A and B are shown apart, each in its own frame.
Chain A
């Protein structure tokens, strides 16, 4: 059984969403939290230096939002391609 065109489309849509999410994942943690931490620390939000905030708070909030966003979009995609469970 070769994967039907529609299923391949579904998989490609999933991969696109996945890559988008992982780019955000990388930016919020590695880029803002580590690589660019020094320049970002020049910006102060309340008592937090921004780079430090991303490393100890912001990255975790971003991860959380990302997972629920991904789950929501995938559930929509499942319905769209009629592959949802019941």
Chain B
């Protein structure tokens, strides 16, 4: 059977499964729609959280990010996992004890202020919308690349699927489809990884394979370091950035993770405080399976790529691969445009090296006759997408990778849409504008808000703003700088009052926004940046992506100082805080 038919069958089967789950898990109350009736088993919720959290970018792009950045990409590995420690210890159990439906609802009640609630809704919507654009694009791209339908049709199909299970089932439907999506995506990710590890190092466990030896007896990582240096690149395993930026970016990603509402709200769905603690551990367990495999996939596929292009000695006349003899997967990826070759020195062979290293480029030109890097385009997504072909795996594995990428994009999109729609129907409509509506009316409003959110996200996927690639920094920066401090202090500082929390959130929000826009242009419009985005201009050398942690610090300080000089919160709020700190208060 040819690959395309097989891909249709696998993708079709997974979609049929998601729809089946949707019909089985319809929501009949607002409790079921917003928090799945608080009846999700902690392990099941952990799995759903993992699918919710791991986006199209985690699945498709992260291994490539690691491949091309080596050690420096560790910030993403640590940043996107370490946040779960903060969630498990600082947020999840207490917010679960609070026991309502949304994150802005907690902020509004804890700070006894509709203004605080609205500020939280704005932060939530900005962070979630920016994030959902990438997922919608991922769905469109997956369809157009593998199933030969155009981007728009692909996007509509994705929207239709999410529409069915999210509008029908709300959080309940989303939870159970996310569990199925996790199984699909983790299987699709680990199978090729096991094969490539086995093939290169003889060890079937990628996490161990990365630390093993290759065919000639040298360690894989040492060999990779050596080859890269010989080609004028920096070593794979050493730091290229600065310690300060690495620390701050890791911290921004960690507290951003812990502050993202679509992740937090997943811990509202378990039955108990005890369950919330355990569930955070299970979530990280399921995430760690992918996140500890990704460094192996990155290093191994990069190693394969370099060795394919440079099978012989560097500088020798026959050291490089002859273009006409390139393997089939190379040809396949050339047709997609993700891989491109240009014979600059006209020798019919492929040279891949760091032409930006002036000293090495000069040596290569004088001694080897190389006229520049000839792999003019190597898209990082190739590291995951081409992996099964490079490892000569059967077609069904390739089909599975497509279904896995779609599962990752759909599950994250649904989680984000859920956070957006409940903020609209529960926080804005029920909470602020029309508190009098009945549960039935609210449930209807929630379904309409969900449908509206899907349409907005779809529209943004069809007309992606030019800044789509930069928004991840924004989403994490905002979550880190605005929501995270307000949540933490709401639990750990009884004395924090509404004036303090609101000024703190606004200071965190705007300092981070302005710092990012200052160097990247107002609303990312090219040409409007106030200063060139380079290390000489950065405040204390801090890159815009790393600023979320600084914004969070400013938020903490402002909130604390303002609270000190204004009146403490009323007694019933202090009692609320005391109450959420204890899982179950017996009559004392």
**Which A residues are closer than 8 A to B by beta carbons?**
1, 3-4, 6-7, 10-11, 14, 18, 21-22, 25, 29-30, 33-35, 37-38, 41, 45-49, 52-53, 55-57, 59-61, 63-64, 66-68, 70-71, 74-75, 78, 82-86
Chain B window 81-101, contacts with chain A (Cβ cutoff 8 Å), 1 for yes, 0 for no: 110110011100100000000
**Would you call A83 and B295 a contact (CB within 8 A)?**
no
* Distance from B389 Cβ to chain A, minimum over Cβ atoms (Å): 25
Considering only residues 330-383 of chain B, those with a C-beta below 8 Å from chain A are none
**Would you call A30 and B278 a contact (CB within 8 A)?**
no
**Which B residues are closer than 8 A to A by beta carbons?**
66, 71, 74, 77-78, 81-82, 84-85, 88-90, 93, 207, 210-213, 219-222, 237-239, 243, 246-247, 250-251, 272-274, 277-278, 280-281, 284-285, 288, 291-292, 295, 575, 578, 581-586, 588
**Would you call A82 and B281 a contact (CB within 8 A)?**
no
Residues of B within 8 A of A86 (CB): 584
Residues of B within 8 A of A71 (CB): 88, 274, 277-278, 280-281
Most-contacted residue by chain A among B78, B213, B278, B295 (CB, 10 A)? B78
4 A-B pairs closest in CB distance: A47-B219, A55-B74, A67-B281, A71-B277
**Would you call B250 and A60 a contact (CB within 8 A)?**
no
Q: Which of A45, A60, A83 contacts B584 (CB 8 A)?
A: A83
The chain B residue sitting closest to A82, CB to CB, is B586
**Would you call A59 and B82 a contact (CB within 8 A)?**
yes
Residues of A within 8 A of B82 (CB): 25, 29, 59, 63
Residues of B within 8 A of A1 (CB): 575, 578
**Would you call B88 and A64 a contact (CB within 8 A)?**
no
* Distance from A75 Cβ to chain B, minimum over Cβ atoms (Å): 6
**Would you call B88 and A67 a contact (CB within 8 A)?**
yes
* Distance from A6 Cβ to chain B, minimum over Cβ atoms (Å): 8
**Would you call A56 and B239 a contact (CB within 8 A)?**
no
Q: Given the known inter-chain contacts A33-B78, A64-B288, please indicate yes or no for A83 contacting B210, CB distance below 8 A.
A: no
Q: Which of A10, A25, A29, A45 contacts B211 (CB 8 A)?
A: A45
Residues of B within 8 A of A47 (CB): 210-213, 219-222
**Would you call A75 and B219 a contact (CB within 8 A)?**
no
**Would you call B250 and A29 a contact (CB within 8 A)?**
yes
**Would you call B211 and A46 a contact (CB within 8 A)?**
yes
28 contacts across the A-B interface (CB closer than 8 A): A1-B578, A14-B581, A22-B89, A25-B85, A30-B251, A33-B78, A34-B239, A34-B246, A34-B250, A35-B243, A37-B71, A41-B238, A48-B211, A48-B221, A52-B74, A55-B74, A56-B295, A57-B295, A59-B78, A59-B82, A60-B291, A64-B284, A64-B288, A71-B274, A75-B274, A83-B582, A83-B586, A85-B272
Residues of A within 8 A of B274 (CB): 71, 75, 78, 84-85
* Distance from B273 Cβ to chain A, minimum over Cβ atoms (Å): 6
Dominant secondary structure of chain B at its interface with chain A: helix
Residues of B within 8 A of A84 (CB): 274, 583-584
Q: Which of A11, A14, A53, A68 contacts B281 (CB 8 A)?
A: A68
The chain B residue sitting closest to A86, CB to CB, is B584
Q: Given the known inter-chain contacts A46-B211, A47-B211, A74-B277, please indicate yes or no for A55 contacting B77, CB distance below 8 A.
A: yes
**Would you call A37 and B221 a contact (CB within 8 A)?**
no
Q: Which of B78, B220, B221, B584 contacts A52 (CB 8 A)?
A: B221
**Would you call B207 and A11 a contact (CB within 8 A)?**
no
In Å, the complex CA distance between A48 and B203 comes to: 15
Most-contacted residue by chain A among B82, B575, B581 (CB, 10 A)? B82
Residues of B within 8 A of A57 (CB): 207, 210, 292, 295
Residues of B within 8 A of A3 (CB): 578
In Å, the complex CA distance between A46 and B77 comes to: 21
In Å, the complex CA distance between A29 and B248 comes to: 12
The chain B residue sitting closest to A30, CB to CB, is B247
Q: Given the known inter-chain contacts A25-B85, A29-B250, A83-B583, please indicate yes or no for A34 contacting B243, CB distance below 8 A.
A: yes
The chain A residue sitting closest to B577, CB to CB, is A3
**Would you call A85 and B581 a contact (CB within 8 A)?**
no
Q: Given the known inter-chain contacts A47-B221, A83-B583, please indicate yes or no for A33 contacting B281, CB distance below 8 A.
A: no
Residues of B within 8 A of A56 (CB): 66, 71, 74, 77, 292, 295
Beyond A30-B251, A45-B211, A71-B88, 15 extra complex contacts between A and B, CB < 8 Å: A18-B89, A47-B220, A56-B74, A60-B288, A61-B292, A64-B284, A64-B285, A67-B281, A71-B277, A74-B277, A78-B583, A83-B584, A83-B586, A85-B273, A85-B584
Most-contacted residue by chain A among B85, B88, B219 (CB, 10 A)? B85
Q: Given the known inter-chain contacts A30-B247, A74-B277, please indicate yes or no for A60 contacting B239, CB distance below 8 A.
A: no
